[in-house]
Amino acid sequence: MNLTIIGSGYVGLTTGTCFAEMGHHVICVDNNTEKIRTLQSGAIPIYEPKLEELVKKNVAVGRLEFSPSIAASIAESEVIFIAVPTPPNTDGSVDLTYIEKVAREIAQALQPEMGYKVIVDKSTVPVKTGEKVSQTIKHYAGPNVQFDIVSNPEFLREGCAVDDLLHPDRIVIGANSEQAMNVIKRVYQPIHAPILETDVNSAELIKHAANSFLALKISYINAVAKVCEKTGADVELVAEGIGMDKRISRHFLNAGLGYGGSCFPKDVKAFINISRTLGIPFTLLEEVEHINDTQHIHFLDRIRDRLWVLKDKKIAVWGLAFKQNTDDVRESIALKLCEKLCGEGAIVTATDPKAMHTAAPILNPMGVKLVEDMYECARDAEVLVIATEWSEYANADLQKLAGVMRNRIIFDGRNILSPANLRAVGFEYHSVGRPSVEEACPPPGTVPASNVPICKRPPVHSTHRRPLSCIR
C-alpha cells in the first residue's frame, strides 16, 4: 500500500520505517527541510536501536522516501497518518496547534479525483479530537472529497520502539465506518497481533488511559518503597510477591527515581486536564503525579542527609537520558537531580552512553562537567549517583570504580546494582526501597574481582532480573 506519514519525529520516523519494512511504500513528510535532507542522506537525528539500519535498508530499496511537501505526498497515498507533536500547554492541556494546521493542509491538498482517503491520528490526542479533525477537513476541503478519520494510537517504548511496532501486544483501530476499518487492517496485515476494533473516541481514550495506568503502577511502587525504607523491608521482594499475582503482573513495578520522558508526564497531565474539563476530577492521577514529582526530591534529601552539606562536594552522575537505550532527555529525572545539586553548590560531573549531546545544551549552563568515560566521571567523587538504568552501569567494574572514587558511596536511583557485591568490594550503598549497605567490608584491592560474591536472594527473587532494554 502507498502510505504518507506527516511528521518525521520519533513516532513518525519509527512508524514510517517499520511500515516500509513490512513492504509498504512510505513517504515521510516534515516541514523541517534540514531534517529531510539529513534523512535523505541516510542519517537519523535520534538514537533508537535498530532504527538507523532499517532506514538505510528501506531507502536503498525504494520503499522509504522523505519529502517536505504534504500535497505532493498524499496524492497517490491511500492512507495519511498524522504523527506531529502534541506538546502540553502550561495548564497541562494538549496543544493541538500542529494537528489543526496539518488537518487544514491535508484538506487544501485533497481533490475529488484522488478518490477515497483514510486519515489517521497517530499522535496522542485528547478524546474527541478526531471529530475536530473531521470538521476541519470538511470546512477547508473542496466539495465531493471522500475521506474517513481513524484513530490508531501508538504504544511505543523508547529503546524498544522497532520491536514494539513489528511485534506489538495489540493493535487498536478506532473507526466509525467499516470501509475505513478494513483499509487500516490491510496496513497491518503483515503483523501477527490481536486487533481491537473500536469507535474513534474509545481508541483516543485508550492511549491516555493506558499510559496513566502504567504511571500509576510506577508511583505506587515508589510509594511502597518509602514504607520499605522506614521498616527495613526490601521493595524488590515486595514487588516480586505482588507481581506474581496474574491480575497485577511484575511489569512497571520497579522502584526508582520516577518516570520521565516525552509520554508519561505529558499524558498524565493531559488525562487530568481532560477529566477536569469534563467535570469529573481525576484526583487519583493527581496523587500519582505528586508522588512522581517528589520522588527525586526524597532521593536528594537522602544524599544531603549523608553528606550534610552539598556545597563544594564532588558528585558524579551516571545517566542523563530519561531511560536506557535512548538519547531522549525530555523530562529526565537525572537532569532535574543535576539542576538541584548544582543549585546547592555541588561540583557535578555527569556521563551517559548516548545522551551527552542532547543533555549538553541544558547542563553546560548549569556548570555540569560532561565526561565521556564513566570511571573518569566518578574520579575523586564523594558520591556516585546512578540515575539511568544503562546496562553499562549495571555491569560496572566495581574494583576499578572503588579505585577512582574519593569516598566509596553510591546512591543507586534505579536499583541496578547488587548490595552483596558492593559490600564485598567495600562500598557504602543506598538504593530505593532496599536496606542500605552501611558498613564497608574489605578496602579496595583486598578482594580479587573474581572472588566478589554474587548476591544471594531467596529463590523466588533470584530468578528475576529487571529487563534493562524495555523499562520506562
Asked if 49 and 159 touch (Cβ cutoff 8 Å), the reply is: yes
Span 291-333, pLDDT tens digits: 999 999 999 999 999 999 999 999 999 999 999 999 999 999 9
Domain that holds residue 156: 2-198
Taking the C-alpha atoms of residue 173 and residue 181, their distance in angstroms, rounded to an integer, is 7
Q: 436 and 347 in one domain?
A: yes
Burial of residue 62, with CB atoms counted within 10 A of its CB: 0-12 exposed, 13-18 middle, 19 or more buried: exposed
Do residue 241 and residue 188 come from a single domain? no
My answer on whether 89 and 125 are in the same domain is yes
Q: Chain-centre distance of CA 263, in angstroms?
A: 6
Report pLDDT for 439: 58
N-terminal to C-terminal alpha carbon distance within the chain: 33
Where among 151, 166, 198 does a domain terminate?
198
For the segment 127-183, what is each residue's pLDDT rounded down to a tens digit? Answer: 999 999 999 999 999 899 999 999 999 999 999 999 999 999 999 999 999 999 999
Convert 339-365 to b/e letters by CB count within 10 Å (16 or more is b). Answer: ebbbeeebbbbbbbbbbbebbeeebee
Residue 324 amino acid letter? Q
Distance in angstroms (rounded) separating the CA atoms of residues 375 and 398: 10
From the list 223, 241, 336, 325, the residue with the least C-alpha distance to 284 is 223
Q: Is the pLDDT of residue 443 over 70?
A: no
Both 309 and 168 in one domain: the answer is: no
Looking at the structure, do residues 111 and 75 belong to the same domain, yes or no? yes
What is the share, in percent, of the chain residues with pLDDT greater than 90?
89
* Residue in 263, 338, 342, 377 annotated catalytic: 263
Average pLDDT, the chain: 92
> Measured between alpha carbons, how far is 370 from 350 in angstroms, rounded to an integer?
5
390 and 449 assigned to the same domain: yes
- pLDDT tens-digit map of 239-262: 999 999 999 999 999 999 999 998
Domain match, 164 and 296 both: no
Report the domain count for the chain: 2
Q: What is the pLDDT of residue 84?
A: 96
- 166 and 240 belong to one structural domain: no
Same domain? 211 vs 140: no
Q: Are residues 446 and 370 in the same domain?
A: yes
Residues whose CB is less than 8 angstroms from the CB of residue 225 and which lie 6 or more positions away in sequence, other chains included:
235, 255, 432, 433
What band does 450 get if pLDDT is binned at 50, 70 and 90?
A: very low
Helix (H, G, I), strand (E, B) or coil at 25: strand
Q: What is the pLDDT of residue 40?
A: 86
For 107-133, letters b (16+ CB in 10 Å) and e give bebbeeebeebbbbbbbbbbbebbebb
Q: What is the pLDDT of residue 375?
A: 98
- Give the domain-ending residue among 198, 229, 257: 198
pLDDT of residue 438: 86
Q: Could you tell me if 251 and 127 lie in one domain?
A: no
Q: Domain ends where: 164, 198, 232?
A: 198
* Mean pLDDT (whole number) for 26-53: 91
What predicted TM-score, i.e. pTM, was given to this entire model? Answer: 0.89
CATH number of domain containing 37: 3.40.50.720
The sheet that has 347-351: what strands, in order across it? 369-370, 347-351, 314-318, 383-386, 409-412, 428-430
Residue 106 has φ and ψ, to the nearest 5°, of -60, -45
- Residue 333 sits in the same domain as residue 203: yes
Let me know if 263 is a catalytic residue. Answer: yes
